[in-house]
Structure 1
Amino acid sequence: MIPREYQGLFSNIARYVTLSQEEQEQIAAIINITPIKKRQFIDQPGYISPYRNYIVKGAFRSFFLDKDGKEHTVQIAIEDWFVSDFYSYITRTPATLFVEALEDSTLLQMKYEDIEPLCGKIHSLSEYFRVSTEKAFAYSRNRALSNLSMTAEERYLKLTSMYPGIVNRVPQRIIASYLGMTPEFLSKIRKGIAQNS
């Protein structure tokens, strides 16, 4: 029997592919449930990302430090998302990103050495990861275009309309970093929106 904590992951997979009960059990057998404390890192530069991490509960951010030591947030992730330094995971090269828990969280972790051979045996699982990787790439491209074509206020409004609760869970400085602006500028935007609503 598949543990209750795995249901979100298998519901996510079921949006794209169909797995038999036996296939689900094979996948469940290689999953570890891992509690993660707030501010704990699950990936760090210099180390190869070892897991596909599915978020059962909590919030994370991926960021890098520029040559001046300034943080640049490239991903904010919440429940029902995968999070890691994906480039490191896929290419088996050292990570360039820090991946940090923003809340006490719970992950389903699947080791590269376990999941990749299983993808060779279970075609539907391989197809699921192909589709989800393509969607992540498309989202990343869309975000890059938004940063170039939208105003700061439009980017903030888009984020809050897509993920309404995120601003209450993620510190303002991290949201500002993700949107490519200073916390002070984000504060002005939020004040302006509040006054006009």
Structure 2
Amino acid sequence: MHDKLLQHIYSGHDLSQEETEAVKKYFEPVSFSKNIIIEEAGKIPQYLYYIVSGYLRLFYTDENGHEVTTHINCPPGFFTSYSDYINSTVSENNLEAITDAQLLSISQENLNHLIGQSQAMKDFSISIFQQSITYNEKRSRELSVLNAEQRYLKLMNDYPGIIQNVPIQYIASFLGMKPESLSRIRRKIIN
């Protein structure tokens, strides 16, 4: 299970054999079934996850009792409620497996230990968190400047696997629209 993570790291950073073994030691394999809440709102996120396979989402429940999907991720990649994980603060988000998921998890303590003993892993971690910040800024901009159809077409183009694996109500919420609106857009595109 560690092969995908190691390939991801090797794509930009060189690891010694000792560093490779440390990655295998600290990133622990875990599996979750579809629709399982992996980490609950109201708690401090315990792990950073590397998605080997499967789809995950972050969501919160608004004042009207509606679930609002703030982030969807697919393999490969890292996933957690980042700011809460980094700062050890209570998260308002739930982390859910949308599909069956194979993950590698690492606690903040183990991540800190790993990056403390490996400059390559420290550099890799910084690049991952920079990518996360960049993604969130880009997403915020897209939500404010693109119309609903443009947001859906961009999602289809950038992440086609999401369309086949994630329920429409989660996609609609993630794109900032109602499921009925997304259904109309999808019908229009098909026709």
Structure 2 unpaired stretches of 5+: none
Q: Is it true that 1:141 corresponds to 2:127 in the alignment? A: no
Deviations 1:129-181 (A, max 9, x none): 11111111111111110111111000000000011121110000000000000
Structure 1's unaligned 5+ residue stretches are: none
Q: Distance in 1 between matches of 2:143 and 2:103?
A: 30
Q: What TM-score do the two structures reach when normalised by structure 2?
A: 0.97
Local SS of the residue matching 2:29: strand
Residue 21 (structure 2) pairs with residue 6 (structure 1): no
- 1:157 equivalenced with 2:153 (yes/no): yes
Task: Tell me how large the CA RMSD over aligned residues is.
Answer: 1.0
Name the CA distance, whole Å, in 1 between partners of 2:15 and 2:32: 29
Show the counterpart of 1:184. 180
Deviation readout 1:55-103 (Å, 9 max, x if unpaired): 1111111011111222111111111111111111100011111010011
| Percentage of identical aligned residues | 34
Kept after mapping to 1: 8 A contact 2:26/2:114 = no
Report the count of equivalent residues.
191
1:39-50 mapped onto 2 (5 Å cutoff):
39-50=35-46
In 2, are the aligned partners of 1:43 and 1:85 still within 8 Å (CA)? no
Q: Aligned-pair distance for 1:31?
A: 2.0
Name 2:123's counterpart in structure 1. 127
Counterpart selection for 1:102 from 98, 103, 114:
98
Q: Tell me the equivalent position of 2:56.
A: 60
Equivalents in 2 of 1:180, 1:96: separation in Å? 18
Contact 1:8 1:80 in 2 (8 A): yes
Moved more, 12-21 or 132-141: 12-21
Moved over 6 A (4+): none
Matched, 1:17 2:13: yes
Counterpart check, 1:83 vs 2:83: no
Given that residues 54 and 74 in structure 2 are in contact (C-alpha distance below 8 angstroms), is that contact kept between their aligned partners in structure 1? yes
TM-score when normalising by structure 1: 0.94
